[in-house]
């Protein structure tokens, strides 16, 4: 061996031969085994980093006394030495640590080595607090991590010990189950321990930048061929490939773990993790093999093992964590202590322990969110400066007289909730949920009239001009009969008209203003704003909603949505609101017949449209995009309109509506359709809300698989608004089973709350609302779909805590943790 680098193969071979012969201190050609090892470890190769030299010298001393040791002590020394050399060799030959890898024996001076990986136990049981790092200590200050690794971990926003402790794995893989080769079954994740029968490492003939390590492993039940793939020019050097062969010599014992899958050679392990063992029964030191393995979110330049090793370095600090949750609360809800939960979320002892750890940490995510929302709600209720609005009066009585229908029981119940709120000096902050066509607008009008008859003004904000226009038309028809003025303010309003509206508002002559974002973007000044109504409120950002509220002095706020929100999602984003549901449709509404069709059944859809239009009724045809997309092979509204008008429905008038049209063009298209001048309206999703044509009975949705269930339900709600039977046709060319299953939900249910629940299960909470809003917290572990039970318990616990002490002064640690989580995890985004 040279004085540049250890001759790994001679060292491994000498140790293996001595073990095979029963630890008898074999005599070689020149030296006894113990003499050879003592001489080898007595020299410091240049390539050995300084931090390892003390351990290297200790081994020289131990092997010098090898002849005087008992057999069991000799066995222990050889086992620990082989494991140490394997670990050290991996550190030195890790391509990530080598600036440039040459051929065998070249470029050794250019290597950069890692510091020694700590032999921390993956599961922390009892660790001396004296040796544990401090919670607020910088990662760069820890010798096991250092400045260079800390810089890389910073790309994951990990700077301190606390950051790393609370950087939860996004998943776990259970490699804890060890099996024999003959017991392998495709689809399982397992660990096997076997000897190397054959080893080869070579460059792929199909890809010159891909290196393949092939091992044939055997145990007493069979054999298996496995391969590891390493992409990059550095891996294809002869030197690196030869080092792999030396690491896994024939006859060495290897632990391998991975996913079992079928290959052309039979069963194999998919790109397995490997560790060389001294003997089949040895303890596995790997942070992966034979364990429940944490899977972390990574980024470029940050490898999985780097994060795992960094976590093991800081995990002892978990023992010093003070639990913010009182012992009584933990016992009541059967929660693991925080320090144990942190240790076991990273490296659990088994799957059951992992579930207990996850449950505690999920509870924390929900608990502090609910605590913050409830605290905010209580603080809002402490304000006593809002206007008291009269629930009875001539305006409301007259409105009931001109209504051509009776309010449903659900409408009356929700209205009572609202009118009770308006009689308090605490500002109302209520959300009204109701399915499409349930009559939310009528309820809002009564609330607006309560404000007007009490001498205050009202504002109604909608997310689109189409919806704002629809509200304005309906309100004008009612307010004219009540001799009340109402105006519309949108981005299309002319300058002269804007000035007129501004002036009327400031003097108080205009009691109600309907509009879009223009209500907050314009220099709009209300004389005496008493009530704010926000429709489809989830389409507005947090700041936009707050800006409208600031147009008055603590006005009452009523928000509405026709997108039914699942209970868990409502608690999460509206936990500080009072929620009312209109869960009853007006009498006489017929069930909309919904059918999912394939492109081969298109003729059936066209036949139905012809039949309905021939009877004087109308049809929507909805498409996702305005122009063709190369990525998404979708029909464009423009081309579809041309095709339908010229060839399919040449006998009828076909209109066109899409988001890129000017406001005047949109108004013209909607007016023609409303007046039945066009019988078929080809449109993008701008018709999702705001277009109300009771004569329309058919809704044909192209590429229905591209829409969310809640959005499809909204679109379906554009028909079925009259007395005639209506139809919704979901056209899809997708053969994906999941897509077909989603459309079946629409076929089988008309319940918007059930549909939104299913939508959340299919696509996640952020998409249920039609757009990803900052108001939906980005939980690390918690799932609104899977963890409903934990969320409800966390809400219950938070309510009890707030009931006892809204300031949290008696629970200092809890108060500090709440502040930390709001500042760092929520970022204030949960404001409503």
Same fold, 172-295 and 593-749: no
Please tell me what DSSP assigns to residue 247. H
Spatial CB neighbours of 113, under 8 Å, sequence gap ≥ 6? 47, 49, 91, 92, 97
Query: What phi-psi label fits residue 351: left (phi over 0), alpha (psi between -120 and 50 degrees) or beta?
Result: alpha
Can you give the length of the chain in residues?
832
Please tell me what DSSP assigns to residue 781. S
- Stretch 632-646: mean pLDDT, rounded? 75
Pinpoint the alpha helices (H) of 43-160.
53-64, 71-93, 146-153
Q: How many CB atoms lie within 10 A of CB 251?
A: 12
Please report, for residues 212, 213, 231, 232, 242, the alpha-carbon distance to residue 208 in angstroms, rounded to integers and kept in the order given. 11, 14, 9, 9, 17
Q: Report the 3 state secondary structure along 666-711.
A: HHHHHHHHHCCCCCEEEECHHHCCCCCCCCEEEEEECCHHHCCHHH
- Per-residue pLDDT band for 106 (boundaries 50, 70, 90) equals very low
- Stretch 171-192: mean pLDDT, rounded? 82
Q: List beta partners, residue 654.
A: 680
Q: Quick one: pLDDT at residue 398?
A: 92
Please report, for residues 212, 595, 631, the alpha-carbon distance to residue 300 in angstroms, rounded to integers and kept in the order given. 22, 46, 26
How many whole angstroms separate alpha carbon 741 and alpha carbon 737? Answer: 6
Q: What residue ranges do the domains of the chain occupy?
A: 8-93, 172-295, 327-382+781-826, 394-423+439-561, 593-749
713-765 residue pLDDT tens: 888 888 888 788 999 999 988 888 888 888 888 888 888 778 877 877 776 66
Cβ-in-10-Å burial (0-12, 13-18, 19+) of 24 comes to: exposed
Cβ-in-10-Å burial (0-12, 13-18, 19+) of 709 comes to: buried
Q: Is a pLDDT exceeding 90 seen at residue 814? A: yes
CATH says 394-423+439-561 is which class? Answer: alpha beta
How many whole angstroms separate alpha carbon 14 and alpha carbon 793? Answer: 61
Q: Which of 758, 735, 764 is nearest to 746 (CA)?
A: 758
593-749 classified as CATH 3.90.960.10 = no
Please tell me what DSSP assigns to residue 822. I
Fold of 172-295: OB fold (Dihydrolipoamide Acetyltransferase, E2P) (2.40.50)
Q: Quick one: pLDDT at residue 124?
A: 44
Spatial CB neighbours of 400, under 8 Å, sequence gap ≥ 6? none
Q: Quick one: pLDDT at residue 138?
A: 92
Q: Is a pLDDT exceeding 60 seen at residue 119? A: no
Q: Is a pLDDT exceeding 50 seen at residue 772? A: no
Query: What phi-psi label fits residue 690: left (phi over 0), alpha (psi between -120 and 50 degrees) or beta?
Result: left
Q: Quick one: pLDDT at residue 111?
A: 28
Q: Is a pLDDT exceeding 50 seen at residue 439? A: yes
Query: What phi-psi label fits residue 547: left (phi over 0), alpha (psi between -120 and 50 degrees) or beta?
Result: alpha
Q: Quick one: pLDDT at residue 93?
A: 55
Spatial contact of 20 and 2, defined as CB atoms under 8 Å apart: no
Q: Quick one: pLDDT at residue 630?
A: 40
Q: Which of 724, 640, 390, 429 is nearest to 555 (CA)?
A: 429
- Stretch 34-55: mean pLDDT, rounded? 74
Q: Quick one: pLDDT at residue 47?
A: 61
How many whole angstroms separate alpha carbon 358 and alpha carbon 739? Answer: 31
- Per-residue pLDDT band for 200 (boundaries 50, 70, 90) equals very high
How many whole angstroms separate alpha carbon 306 and alpha carbon 557? Answer: 50
Q: Quick one: pLDDT at residue 625?
A: 63
Q: List beta partners, residue 231.
A: 210
pLDDT above 70 as % of the chain: 83
Spatial contact of 696 and 617, defined as CB atoms under 8 Å apart: yes
Q: Which of 572, 553, 616 is nearest to 784 (CA)?
A: 572
Spatial contact of 689 and 539, defined as CB atoms under 8 Å apart: no
Q: Quick one: pLDDT at residue 2?
A: 45
3-state secondary structure of 656: strand
Spatial contact of 251 and 19, defined as CB atoms under 8 Å apart: no
Average pLDDT, the chain: 81
Spatial contact of 68 and 34, defined as CB atoms under 8 Å apart: no
590-604 residue pLDDT tens: 789 999 998 889 999
Lowest mean pLDDT among 225-234, 271-280, 307-316, 472-481: 271-280
- Stretch 388-402: mean pLDDT, rounded? 87
Spatial CB neighbours of 473, under 8 Å, sequence gap ≥ 6? none
Cα angle at 643 between 641 and 644, to 5 degrees?
65
Spatial CB neighbours of 625, under 8 Å, sequence gap ≥ 6? 632, 634, 636, 637, 684
469-495 residue pLDDT tens: 888 988 999 999 999 999 999 888 888
> What one-character-per-residue DSSP string does 341-397 give?
HHHHHHS-SSHHHHHHHHHHHHHHHHHHHHHHHHHHHHHHHT---SPP--S-SHHHH
Report residue 23 CA to chain centroid gap: 56
Q: Quick one: pLDDT at residue 829?
A: 42
Q: Is a pLDDT exceeding 60 seen at residue 541? A: no
Q: How many CA atoms lie within 13 A of 638 on its CB side?
A: 7
Q: Which of 194, 244, 200 is nearest to 223 (CA)?
A: 194
Spatial contact of 277 and 284, defined as CB atoms under 8 Å apart: yes
Lowest mean pLDDT among 49-58, 384-393, 525-534: 49-58
How many whole angstroms separate alpha carbon 270 and alpha carbon 247? Answer: 20
Residue whose tokens read 């995990």:
315
Relative orientation angle of helices 53-64 and 71-93, to the nearest 10 degrees: 150
Report residue 484 CA to chain centroid gap: 48
- Stretch 295-307: mean pLDDT, rounded? 82
- Stretch 644-670: mean pLDDT, rounded? 86
Q: How many CA atoms lie within 13 A of 790 on its CB side?
A: 24
Q: Quick one: pLDDT at residue 313?
A: 87
Q: Which of 216, 214, 210 is nearest to 237 (CA)?
A: 210
Spatial contact of 302 and 96, defined as CB atoms under 8 Å apart: no
């Amino acid at each position: 061996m040279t004085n540049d680098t250890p001759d790994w193969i001679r060292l491994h071979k000498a140790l293996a031969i001595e073990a095979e012969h029963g630890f008898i201190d074999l005599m070689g050609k020149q030296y006894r085994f113990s003499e050879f090892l003592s001489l080898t470890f007595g020299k410091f190769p240049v390539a050995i980093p300084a931090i390892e030299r003390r351990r290297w010298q200790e081994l020289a001393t131990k092997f010098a006394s090898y002849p005087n040791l008992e057999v069991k002590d000799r066995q222990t020394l050889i086992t620990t030495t082989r494991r140490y050399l394997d670990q050290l060799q991996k550190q030195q030959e890790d391509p990530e640590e080598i600036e440039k890898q040459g051929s065998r024996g070249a470029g050794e001076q250019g290597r950069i080595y890692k510091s020694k990986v700590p032999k921390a136990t993956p599961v922390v049981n009892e660790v001396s607090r004296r040796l544990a790092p401090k919670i607020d200590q910088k990662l760069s200050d820890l010798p096991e991590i250092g400045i260079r690794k800390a810089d890389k971990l910073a790309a994951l926003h990990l700077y301190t010990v606390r950051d790393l402790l609370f950087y939860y794995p996004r998943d776990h893989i259970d490699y804890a189950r060890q099996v024999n080769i003959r017991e392998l079954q495709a689809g399982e994740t397992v660990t096997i321990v076997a000897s190397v029968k054959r080893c080869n490492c070579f460059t792929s003939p199909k890809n010159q930048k891909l290196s393949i390590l092939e091992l044939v492993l055997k145990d007493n039940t069979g054999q298996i061929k496995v391969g590891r793939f390493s992409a990059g020019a550095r891996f294809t050097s002869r030197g690196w490939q030869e080092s792999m062969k030396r690491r896994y010599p024939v006859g060495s014992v290897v632990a391998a773990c991975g996913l079992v899958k079928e290959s052309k050679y039979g069963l194999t392990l998919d790109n397995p993790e490997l560790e060389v063992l001294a003997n089949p029964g040895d303890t596995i030191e790997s942070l992966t093999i034979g364990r429940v393995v944490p899977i972390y979110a990574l980024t470029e330049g940050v490898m999985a093992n780097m994060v795992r090793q960094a976590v093991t370095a800081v995990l002892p600090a978990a023992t010093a964590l003070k639990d913010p949750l009182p012992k009584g609360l933990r016992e009541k809800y059967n929660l693991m202590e925080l320090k144990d939960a942190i240790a076991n979320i990273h490296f659990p002892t088994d799957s059951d322990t992992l579930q207990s750890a996850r449950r505690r940490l999920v509870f924390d995510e929900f608990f502090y969110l609910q605590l913050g929302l409830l605290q905010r709600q209580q603080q809002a209720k402490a304000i006593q400066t809002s206007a008291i609005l009269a629930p009875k009066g001539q305006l409301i009585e007259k409105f009931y007289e001109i209504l051509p229908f009776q309010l449903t029981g659900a409408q009356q119940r929700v209205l009572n909730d609202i009118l009770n709120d308006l009689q308090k000096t605490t500002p109302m902050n209520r959300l009204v949920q109701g399915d499409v066509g349930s009559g939310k607008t009528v309820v809002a009008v009564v609330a607006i009239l309560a404000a007007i008859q009490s001498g205050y003004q009202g504002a109604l904000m909608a997310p689109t001009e189409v919806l704002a226009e629809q509200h304005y038309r309906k309100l004008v028809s009612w307010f004219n009969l009540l001799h009340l003025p109402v105006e519309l303010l949108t981005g299309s309003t002319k300058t002269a008209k804007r000035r007129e509206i501004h002036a009327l508002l400031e003097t108080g002559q205009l009691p109600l203003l309907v509009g879009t974002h223009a209500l907050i973007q314009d220099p709009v000044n209300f004389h005496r704003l008493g009530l704010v109504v926000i429709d489809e409120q989830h389409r507005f950002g947090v700041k936009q909603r707050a800006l409208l509220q600031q147009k008055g002095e603590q006005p009452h706020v009523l928000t509405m949505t026709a997108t039914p929100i699942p209970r868990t999602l409502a608690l999460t984003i509206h936990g500080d609101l009072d929620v009312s549901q209109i869960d009853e449709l007006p009498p006489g509404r017929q069930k909309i017949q919904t059918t999912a069709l394939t492109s081969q059944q298109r003729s059936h859809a066209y036949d139905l449209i012809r039949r309905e239009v021939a009877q004087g009724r109308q049809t929507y045809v909805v498409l996702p995009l305005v122009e063709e997309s190369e990525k998404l092979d979708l029909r464009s509204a423009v081309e579809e309109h041309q095709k339908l008008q010229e060839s399919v429905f040449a006998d009828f008038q076909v209109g066109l509506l899409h988001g890129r049209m000017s406001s005047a063009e949109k108004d013209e298209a909607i007016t023609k359709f409303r007046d039945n001048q066009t019988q078929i309206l080809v449109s993008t999703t701008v018709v999702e809300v705001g277009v109300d044509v009771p004569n329309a009975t058919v809704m044909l949705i192209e590429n229905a698989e591209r829409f969310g269930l809640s959005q499809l339900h909204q679109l379906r709600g554009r028909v079925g608004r009259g007395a005639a039977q209506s139809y919704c046709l979901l056209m899809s060319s997708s053969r994906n089973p999941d897509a077909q299953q989603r459309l079946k939900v629409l076929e089988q249910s008309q319940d918007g709350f059930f549909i939104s629940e299913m939508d959340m299960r299919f696509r996640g909470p952020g998409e249920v609302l039609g757009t990803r809003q900052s108001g939906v917290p980005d939980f690390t572990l918690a799932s609104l779909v899977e963890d409903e039970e934990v969320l409800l318990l966390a809400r219950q616990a938070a309510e009890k805590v707030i009931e006892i002490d809204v300031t949290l002064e008696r629970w200092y640690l809890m108060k500090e943790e709440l502040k930390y989580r709001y500042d760092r995890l929520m970022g204030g985004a949960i404001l409503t």
